[in-house]
Structure 1
Amino acid sequence: MADASSSAVPFDKSKMKLAAAALVQHGVYIGTSSWRYTGWRGMLYSDDRYQARGRFSQAQFNRLCLTEYAEVFKTVCVDSVYYKFPTRSEIESLVVQVPQDFLFALKVTDEITIKTYPGLPRFGLRGGKPNENFLNADLFGSAFLSACEPFKAHIGVFIFEFSQFHLSDFARGRDFVDALDKFLAALPAGWRYAVEIRNRTFLHPEYFAVLARHGVAHVYNSWTDMPPVSTQLTLPGNRTSRDFFVARFLLVPGRRYEDAVKMFSPYDRVREINPDGRATGAQLIKQTVAEQGRTKAFIYVNNRFEGNALETIDAMVEGAGLG
């Protein structure tokens, strides 16, 4: 890692707006993981748009800031629908704030992807119990996809994020792959699907082969217990969809989520540069541009990767020679 103190470059909103618009013409959709961060005030967001009674209104900001975000970027990864099934009106409330060429990546609600409910307060008495709806394709269709159907033109990709499994969930990676195979076969056609796993031992040829058979993308994800994205890109068979791919730079490998929050809040600047992550993001951008529209790239950066996702994206675009 590199210290950011001597190499910080202020985020240029106007420059990024032009770069993001140009990249979309080459199939590159790059944006952030979520968008409601007050640490971005003065960088991406203008306080005068969120005033109530002469002062900054957090409520107005939370409700309306996607509009200003979408004036610069062409995509965002929506985390909120991971925690509960969305309603049609909730999806519509997002869509009405963005232009016609804006695409959302939606993390599918964890009711579909959790094998055993964690012992967290939000799960209440279900904590520690098996999830009967794990990989329930019918429930995905009725409780999630149905809310998105009217807004298909704005849906870039659905991400099935699987938290790290324990031996009590799957004794072998092969067991997960078999279950995943059946689930993917039952999904409605006509949408982009991607799978994100958090067990590095599951990154084997059988896993990639199942995704490829269904035209589903592996999500190259930088996370605590996963190898770097640069390493995932070297694994045999890792490119499982010819039409698109997804990459998410979330946490530096080896770092826990809680530690990143403490280190980087309030996410108003980069505090630690990750040269490998930046170079990998730039590489993915360059490769997609070189493919001349044959592939769509969905690349997302989280504040907890370096401290400020806006500046990290800026560095990736610059590294690709397109900033």
Structure 2
Amino acid sequence: MTLSPLIRFGTSTWTYEGWKGQIYTRTYTKTGFTRDCLGEFCQYLYKGEPLFRTVGNDATFYRPPTASQLSRYLNQIPEDFEMCAKVWEEITIPTYATHARYGIKAGQRNPNFLNADAFIKLVLQPYRDARFGPHTGPFLFEFQRHGLSVREFCSGLDGFFARLPKDFRYAVEIRNAGMLGHQYHEVLRRHGVAHVYNHWTFMPSLAEQHQRMGTFTAPFSVFRLQTPLKITHEAAKKRAEPYNKIVGELPEMRQDTVRLARQAAGENRTTYVLVNNRAEGNAPLTIQALVDSLRE
């Protein structure tokens, strides 16, 4: 069987030098790898077909891309390829953490939290300027654990998404399992925003997330397979390094992903599956296994 064209697989990022010899075979200069390897990433074949038809851009969590950066990507990606960018954390954190990178803002309230004007001007505008539209996958809003109530959070989301342009797609990833439920579901459904089914340390299984949600909330679906459940980020990193092989399969994660991806595709929803090395040890090999399961 061929893989449904509605299902797009990719990795959390593409600039991983550890995949040299696996995904990357060209010779790059020291500074040229990060700049130029996206083209080779897109051309990687598995059983005669491109394995990656999307990719995550995690770097945009720390700063929005410029139009010139996006234009450079355009010169490397094929026609049928989409990039799913994380949204700048300036939009998604209510309070700055007590971390050195925030400087004098550390511990302070963030005035740009869910600021639609800032998002449109600072995040979306470069995509318009670069004419990146056809290659723009869903924007991924990662909300880390916070002290907001369900009502406060959902009210903020409701007002925020009501103000965003409708010619882009948006997806919300939460790290507070208690947010899953009717109120959260209805806000996303109202605005055609997807819930990101995230396989992550303190979240329930993908199947349980869908059970709590009830239905998909958008014309597309997004999955991010990041770490084993109930294992911290640091423990997952230590378990998976040096990311050159599968260190431990996660059968439930694979089965849930395949079942839910099939369901979404059966409902004519484009589905994005983004895999991190820390899930099983080597994201490309995890993707190959998922593709084989879906083809069976």
> What residue ranges of structure 2 are gaps of 5+ in the alignment?
45-51
> Counterparts of 1:236 and 1:288 in 2: how far apart (Å)?
14
1:272 alignment partner, one of 248, 255, 263: 248
Aligned residue for 2:221, secondary structure, equals strand
- Alpha-carbon offset, residue 289 of structure 1: 4.3
- Output the TM-score relative to the length of structure 2: 0.93
Q: Do 1:209 and 1:237's aligned partners in 2 also have CA atoms closer than 8 Å?
A: no
Runs of 4+ more than 6 Å apart: none
Aligned residue for 2:98, secondary structure, equals coil
Task: Confirm or deny that 1:61 pairs with 2:33.
Answer: yes
Q: Do 1:27 and 1:289's aligned partners in 2 also have CA atoms closer than 8 Å?
A: yes
Q: Do 2:265 and 2:271's aligned partners in 1 also have CA atoms closer than 8 Å?
A: no
- Alpha-carbon offset, residue 85 of structure 1: 1.9
> Counterparts of 1:297 and 1:164 in 2: how far apart (Å)?
25
Q: What is the aligned partner in structure 1 of residue 48 from structure 2?
A: none
2:9 alignment partner, one of 30, 37, 48: 30
> Counterparts of 1:285 and 1:207 in 2: how far apart (Å)?
21
Q: Give deviations 1:60-103, integer Å, cap 9, x for gaps.
A: 22221111111131110101111012211111122211011110
Q: Do 1:118 and 1:128's aligned partners in 2 also have CA atoms closer than 8 Å?
A: yes
Q: What is the aligned partner in structure 2 of residue 135 from structure 1?
A: 114
**Which residue identity is paired with 1:42?**
G
1:302 alignment partner, one of 253, 276, 283: 276
> Counterparts of 1:120 and 1:309 in 2: how far apart (Å)?
29
Distance 1:238 1:162, change over 3 A: farther
Aligned residue for 1:58, secondary structure, equals coil
Which stretch shifts more, 195-204 or 225-234? 225-234
Q: What is the aligned partner in structure 2 of residue 205 from structure 1?
A: 182
Give the aligned CA root-mean-square deviation in angstroms: 1.5
**Which residue identity is paired with 2:167?**
G
> Counterparts of 1:299 and 1:34 in 2: how far apart (Å)?
12
Q: What is the aligned partner in structure 2 of residue 312 from structure 1?
A: 286
> Counterparts of 1:289 and 1:141 in 2: how far apart (Å)?
30
1:239 alignment partner, one of 211, 216, 219: 216
Distance 1:295 1:289, change over 3 A: closer
**Which residue identity is paired with 2:82?**
L
> What residue ranges of structure 1 are gaps of 5+ in the alignment?
1-18, 52-56
- Alpha-carbon offset, residue 107 of structure 1: 0.6
- Alpha-carbon offset, residue 234 of structure 1: 1.5
Task: Confirm or deny that 1:85 pairs with 2:59.
Answer: no
- Alpha-carbon offset, residue 189 of structure 1: 1.2
> How many residue pairs get matched?
287
1:193 alignment partner, one of 170, 177, 180: 170
**Which residue identity is paired with 2:274?**
Y
> Counterparts of 1:180 and 1:289 in 2: how far apart (Å)?
27
Identity of aligned residues (%): 40
Aligned residue for 2:166, secondary structure, equals coil
> Counterparts of 1:190 and 1:297 in 2: how far apart (Å)?
18
> Counterparts of 2:189 and 2:158 in 1: how far apart (Å)?
10
**Which residue identity is paired with 2:89?**
D
Residues 147-226 of structure 1: pairs in structure 2 closer than 5 A: 147-149=126-128, 150-166=131-147, 170=148, 172-226=149-203
Q: Do 1:29 and 1:298's aligned partners in 2 also have CA atoms closer than 8 Å?
A: yes
Task: Confirm or deny that 1:253 pairs with 2:253.
Answer: no
